[in-house]
Amino acid sequence: MPENTAQASNEALLDIQDLSIHYITEDGTVRAVNNLNLSLKRGETIGLVGETGAGKTTTALGIMRLVPDPPGKIVGGRINFAGEDLTQKSDAAMRNVRGKRISMIFQDPMTSLNPVIPVRDQIAEVILLHEKVSAAEALAKAEEMLLKVGIRSERAREYPHQFSGGMRQRVVIAIALACNPELLISDEPTTALDVTIQAQVLELMKNLKREFNTSMIMITHDLGIVADICDKVAIMYAGSVVEIGDKYDLFRNPKHPYTIGLFNSLPDIEKDEDSLKPIKGFMPDPMDLPSGCPFHPRCDVAKPICMQAAPSEYVNVSENHRVKCLLFSDTTGGE
Amino acid sequence: MPEKLLEVKNLKKYYKTKRGPLHAVDDIDFTINRGETLGLVGESGCGKSTTGRVVLRLVDATAGEVIFSGENILNYDKNKMRNFREHAQIVFQDPFASLNPRMSVSEIIAEPLIINKKASSKQDLHKQVLQLMDTVGLAARLENVYPHELDGGRRQRIGIARSLALKPSFIVQDEPVSALDVSIQAQILNLMDELQKEMKLTYLFISHDLGVIKHVSTNIAVMYLGKIVEMSDYASIFKDPLHPYTKALLSAIPVPNVDVHRERIILEGDVPSPISPPPGCRFYGRCFMRQDVCKDQDPVLNQISETRKVACHLVKK
């Protein structure tokens, strides 16, 4: 069942073009994000999938303009959000975007909440900051938000430590959605939670997303969560998107050798398999990326050309599914 | 005829807390045959890691028996325990916290060999260390590097090499792949599988990930709040979970397949506190099938079929 197609329009809310983010350190330059392309329509949810060090979180921080500088720098590209390039915005202008138009949920709810302020007041803070309301109105709206995420008003004055992990993440979600943002970035929101609690939180996010018609970037390493909650999926490797497409197209017909490797690495509870087929080798060091295609040392089907040339263009697999790999580009066929 | 290597009977581990006794492990029984793997699955705080530690006597049991090769190790004295530890090892979840950051790879792997005087000379020690590194797929050039220089997957290989140094017959695997990325996780799971076949190892494999548990286990035990609620051979439990908690747990796993649609059971609330649990079924408060009898009577683990046991009033033979 398509999640959000009814509300999704054709207008791109977010369109990232050739984004590169580097961390410039004394030991060398960490190329965390390299020529990343991504676009998202209103009301859509895209899953950003990749392993540790793929650049998922740096991409998210880049959109929020929260990459720590120094050492981090957006060294190239554009982040078009509702028609404006966020990379060109002043710090003051960004403060009006963050929390109001784009919010972010982090992995660990305990470290993103203030331990000495009651949860209700933490939600009210963001409302007071971005909306012209009185303190009393902000508090009332905060309690309303808590109800929406399933926390009763009696508990509104409690502190984060009095809540369980799943409840804390609900509070964080309430803060993120308090000003009805156009874009919500969720960075591994359920990774720290148990699976039955994760199911509760994902269900809640699905419902709220529908209610508020929020677009969402769901950063995760779990392809199961993508299948559950997303409309589109982008697979990241070594700082760029290697394959992107409609969830159904990509899951049924993965093309990039890395994507296929990821699927084969997962123990499948639906099937009986004797042994898993892992991807050989290790994630490359972003300070010293391999020449050519960064995946070639781990790729079983790499050709000689893959060692020299990095794929730069996306090839259309279908209308809603594109892959960045030399194996699919016509230009290399004759070489 | 399968040979019992480990048998746990009425095992209990209570911790004293200010608010009353915490029932971490509350009267559990299981057996593991030689060369097989028992997968112990459950959510945080269900007592699965405590079980792993009590079985190795890393923490002392409150009551019960742990029978290893026919002898109750809970009665062992210091000397016998030292001997037992050669046969029973553990691999921990966090390969950073469980490796001494000031020791090199070869020193970490050599330590158990030195302590137990298993090497006749320095050359012999070195040879054994290199052999162990080779067994787990660590390149010999890494022998003098330190854990912080390595990624999680290689660090976990060090932990495995160390656990194999004394040629144990039994290894507790405590969430050994939970901190690893999926592509590396698959490498480590395959390695453990190969080692088990080659060395006829017996595993108690603890994990919260049912996918991993299914892949590695011969039999599976599901724990909830200190109790085993369901035991089964690895295949049937996925086809036909019997305990309501197992049903909910299975249905909650996000499946990486867009063409499989599962009926999702969303449980109410959180796992209750294991401190002074009320009488009756531990799952009562969250169960979507609960009945009056469940409130007061604690269900026992009943044999349902040859390979399956369930602790639930609603499941009959």
Interface check A152 vs B, CB under 8 A: no
Among A55, A175, A188, A63, residue whose Cα is nearest residue A113: A175
What average pLDDT does range A291-302 have in this prediction? 93
Chain A hits for B212, CB-CB cut-off 8 Å, are 267
Interface check A194 vs B, CB under 8 A: yes
Contact B258 A195 (CB under 8 A): no
The pLDDT of residue A5 is 43
Contact in structure between A63 and A216 (CB atoms under 8 Å): no
Alpha helices in B91-181 (DSSP H): 105-115, 122-135, 152-164
Rounded to the nearest 10 degrees, the angle between the axes of helix B122-135 and helix B152-164 is 130
Residue of B nearest to A250 (CA): B258
Strands A28-41 and B88-91: unpaired
Residues 6+ apart with CB under 8 A from B11: B25, B27, B28, B29, B51, B54, B55, B61, B63, B64, B65, B66
- Residue B69 lies inside a defined structural domain of this protein: yes
Which B residues 226-285 touch A at CB under 8 Å?
A: 235, 238, 248-260, 264, 266-267, 270-271
- Residue B316 lies inside a defined structural domain of this protein: no
Beta-carbon neighbour count of residue B228 at 10 Å?
A: 27
A58 pLDDT more than 80: yes
- Residue B315 lies inside a defined structural domain of this protein: no
Residues 6+ apart with CB under 8 A from B90: B52, B53, B56, B58, B163, B171, B172, B173, B174
CATH among 3.30.450.20, 3.40.710.10, 3.40.50.300, 3.65.10.10 for A12-89+217-332: 3.40.50.300
Chain A hits for B271, CB-CB cut-off 8 Å, are 194
Which A residues 76-95 touch B at CB under 8 Å?
A: none
Chain A hits for B237, CB-CB cut-off 8 Å, are none
The pLDDT of residue A7 is 44
Mean pLDDT of all residues in chain A? 90
Separation between Cα atoms, residue A262 and residue A302, nearest integer Å: 16
* Residue A330 binned pLDDT confidence (cut-offs 50, 70, 90): low
Interface check A223 vs B, CB under 8 A: yes
Give the range of the structural domain holding residue B157, as residue numbers without chain letter.
4-310
The pLDDT of residue A4 is 44
Q: Where are the domains of chain A?
A: 12-89+217-332
Interface check B171 vs A, CB under 8 A: no
Structure-block tokens of residue B15: 């911790």
The pLDDT of residue B95 is 82
The pLDDT of residue B128 is 96
Chain A hits for B263, CB-CB cut-off 8 Å, are none
Smallest Cβ–Cβ distance between B252 and the set A198, A223, A275 belongs to: A198
Stretches in chain B below the pLDDT threshold 50: none
The pLDDT of residue B66 is 97
A263 pLDDT more than 50: yes
Contact in structure between A89 and A98 (CB atoms under 8 Å): no
Residues 6+ apart with CB under 8 A from A291: A307, A308
How far B17 CA lies from chain A's nearest CA (Å)? Answer: 18
Residues 6+ apart with CB under 8 A from A252: B258, B259
The pLDDT of residue A59 is 96
Total domains in the fold of chain B: 1
Contact in structure between A79 and A62 (CB atoms under 8 Å): yes
- Residue B317 lies inside a defined structural domain of this protein: no
The pLDDT of residue A6 is 41
Chain A hits for B249, CB-CB cut-off 8 Å, are 195-196
Contact B214 A269 (CB under 8 A): yes
* Residue A331 binned pLDDT confidence (cut-offs 50, 70, 90): low
Lowest mean pLDDT among A135-149, A225-239, A262-276, B180-194: A262-276
Residues 6+ apart with CB under 8 A from A149: A170, A171, A173, A174, A204, A208
- For A209-259, how does the pLDDT look when each residue is reduced to its tens digit (9 = 90+)? 999 899 999 999 999 999 999 999 999 999 999 999 999 999 999 999 999
Contact A278 B183 (CB under 8 A): yes
Chain B hits for A238, CB-CB cut-off 8 Å, are none
Among A74, A48, A50, A52, residue whose Cα is nearest residue A63: A74
Contact B256 A264 (CB under 8 A): no
Chain A hits for B183, CB-CB cut-off 8 Å, are 51, 261-262, 265, 278-279
Interface check B212 vs A, CB under 8 A: yes
Above pLDDT 70, what percent of chain A?
95
Separation between Cα atoms, residue B1 and residue A113, nearest integer Å: 57
- Please tell me whether the peptide bond between A70 and the residue prior to it is cis, using omega within 30 degrees of 0: yes
Separation between Cα atoms, residue B317 and residue B309, nearest integer Å: 10
Smallest Cβ–Cβ distance between A195 and the set B185, B212, B253 belongs to: B253
How far B245 CA lies from chain A's nearest CA (Å)? Answer: 10
Is the ipTM higher than 0.85? The answer is no
Interface check A262 vs B, CB under 8 A: yes
Contact A282 B259 (CB under 8 A): no
* Residue labelled with tokens 């508020």: A212
Between chain A and chain B, the number of residue pairs with CB atoms below 8 A apart is 120
Contact in structure between A176 and A218 (CB atoms under 8 Å): no
